[in-house]
A and B are shown apart, each in its own frame.
Chain A
Amino acid sequence: MNNPSVDTHPLSDEVGQEPLLAVDNLHVEFVTRQGLVKAVNGVSYTVNAGESLAVLGESGSGKSVTAQAIMGILDMPPARIPKGEIRFRGTDMLKLSDQARSQIRGQRIAMIFQDALSALNPVFTVGWQISEMFRVHRGMSKRDGMKKAVELMDRVRIPAARQRVNDYPHQFSGGMRQRIMIAMSIALDPEVLIADEPTTALDVTVQAQIMELLAELQRESNMGLILITHDLGVVADVADKIAVMYGGRIVENAPVHDLYKNPGHPYSKGLLDSIPRVDQKGQELYAIKGLPPNLLDMPSGCAFHPRCPYGRPNCVTDVPPLYEISGTRGSACHYYREVLDGTIG
């Protein structure tokens, strides 16, 4: 059994236990006509069985690109991975052949996408698309595959699954489509499930249903879950630990309770402060000034320094490493101690 307290620090190998999935110092670049876009600059995180990791960040922070690199669905070129490792049960997947990789993809690591309508094929029935998993990976017959599809649709609680298995994606509502996506992703009992903004396109009441379903499926099969989101509320509801990304780096990682109680990086602090709270009604909201960085033209030093209320001269020149705050916590801020104590600003 994996120990859930194994930290997210890259040195966790020394603890002697290899986590289920470990991303280690991953770099991803895109070659574009405008220049080299460094989307991911040295990201490390780990997920253990039964654990939920939330990756929080804005658009362009590199959270989805990291997930696509884990799945091996980046288009290369234009993307390339100059450095880093993605270890699944100790094996670096980046060194595997395409064939060995596709044995893992979909079967042992699966992914749910944000927009279920565009992720599903509109010209095939949902039953056909779910059963494809069994036909391709398990060599089942069409009939057996369809039977399995009905079972899965029942498992993700689609009402009247037997009647609806031959319907097309457009005949389902947004929430039901997302359930079909989830059915496809859990079809082969994956060990790691990556959910990329699974509820962003959905209404709140449906979002609550989907998050509950995901949590339940995770409990049943002890999956590791990577939840990619920009919603601080969803993170607080489901995650065990959190990695906050900004400009292609992790700026803070922490157990979820610690981060919400006392953020250790000015960016996480700013995000939490800008949530409208009841007692602030009518007052001006705290707003992080400025704009997210342009990946083609990253600021020198700490990528957050042009927007940081605490910026000091060395923030402009020195890139902060991910300082270790405790065994399970890190912050990429030169002044994390002062941020934690509230003695800066």
Chain B
Amino acid sequence: MAPSAERILEVRDLVKHFPLSQGIILKRQIGAIKAVDGVSFDLHRGETLGVVGESGCGKSTLAKLLMALERPTSGEVKINGVDMAKAHGGELKRMRRNIQMVMQDPYTSLNPRMTVGDIVGEPFEIHSDVAPKGDRRRKVQELLEVVGLNPEHINRYPHQFSGGQRQRIGIARGLALQPEVIICDEPVSALDVSIQAQVMNLLERLQNEFNLAYIFIAHDLSVVRHISDRVAVMYLGKIVELGKDVAIYEQPAHPYTQALLSAVPVPDPEGREQRERIILQGDPPSPADPPSGCRFRTRCWKAQDICAQQEPPLEIRAGGHLSACHFAEEHDVIHAVTEA
């Protein structure tokens, strides 16, 4: 099903700072880790938004904010038009039902002492209105069948399953409350290569079947491209580029996106000597003390004085999509070859 125009999730200027304090008795705040620092985007019904970026760029904090596991410092997250930060009690509980998560590591995200039936059925304990008590076992078996597991294995424990099967259990748990949005935080990166494709296919099938919207967080750019309708590139707590998958992959305008794309090894040895490569120097700066102006300027080869003084806003620039660079310029790095 194609994504519709209906906005299911609206994120506006979302900020999360974690305070850094010093002193044991008299705690003084000496600074803040700016994990997410002004992020805005929309998510439409049935759409997949890919989020890519390096570790420490704030992808996982963003996921926690959307799940209402962390309270934002400022900004808002609206689900179906209602601001989550203002909701409390029963209302918050109902909103949380609508947005569920699939975790990265299927080995640690399932309780080893619970049976699969208990794990997948646990959401019903909290939201008992979704499935009445007598009906739960049948519901859980249905869910196991939907994700391609044998419903008769309901009494088994997680260690009796392989990594790919465990990830399916995690997905079944995410589906239990019939959410409209599922946040997938690196759902295939812990799996073997031959199993990744199976889980990707399952996620796509479920999206079509239940008209789910996905926020798909991953570092594997080819996987993100395959599943996403739009892609957001994050760097140090900010979105630096956002657009349709074709725009991001074929007309990237931000230097960081270009560097990221050119750093990904291409699974084809043909012409590898001629392939253009942008190798960034150094590591990303600390989010406790981000550079002034544009945060990428310390590693950017295009940086000028203006980059240190003025922060480039995320607006429509070269390539016709949103990017945040003073010198945004389309450049297809995937197909580029160096002239030698």
Contacts and interface: CB of A to CB of B under 8 A. Distances in A.
Nearest to B283: A173
Contacts of A231: 265
Contacts of B194: 58, 270-271, 274, 287-288, 292, 307
A239 B164 CA distance: 29
B279 A285 contact: no
B53 to A, nearest CB: 9
B201 A285 contact: yes
Contacts of B30: none
A274 B197 contact: yes
B162 to A, nearest CB: 5
B226 A209 contact: no
B280 A278 contact: no
A150 B268 CA distance: 38
A310 interface: no
Contacts of B264: 204, 233
Contact of B283 (A206, A230, A272, A288): A206
B215 interface: no
A212 B226 contact: no
B154 interface: no
Contacts of A275: 222, 267
A175 B284 CA distance: 11
A344 interface: no
B132 to A, nearest CB: 36
B219 A260 contact: no
Interface residues of A, number: 48
Contacts of A288: 194, 197-198
Nearest to A239: B269
User: How extensive is the interface on chain B, given as a class?
Assistant: 35 or more
Contacts of B196: 274
A79 interface: no
A81 B223 CA distance: 39
A127 B104 CA distance: 35
Residue with the highest number of chain B CB atoms closer than 10 Å, among A173, A260, A272, A275? A275
Interface in A207-247: 207-209, 211-212, 230-237, 239
Interface of A: 58-59, 159, 173-176, 203-209, 211-212, 230-237, 239, 256-257, 260-261, 270-272, 274-278, 280-281, 284-289, 291-292, 307
12 contacts: A203-B54, A205-B260, A205-B280, A206-B54, A230-B192, A236-B267, A261-B270, A274-B193, A275-B222, A276-B197, A280-B226, A292-B162
In order of increasing CB-CB distance, the 7 nearest A-B pairs are: A233-B265, A276-B226, A287-B197, A208-B263, A203-B54, A274-B197, A58-B192
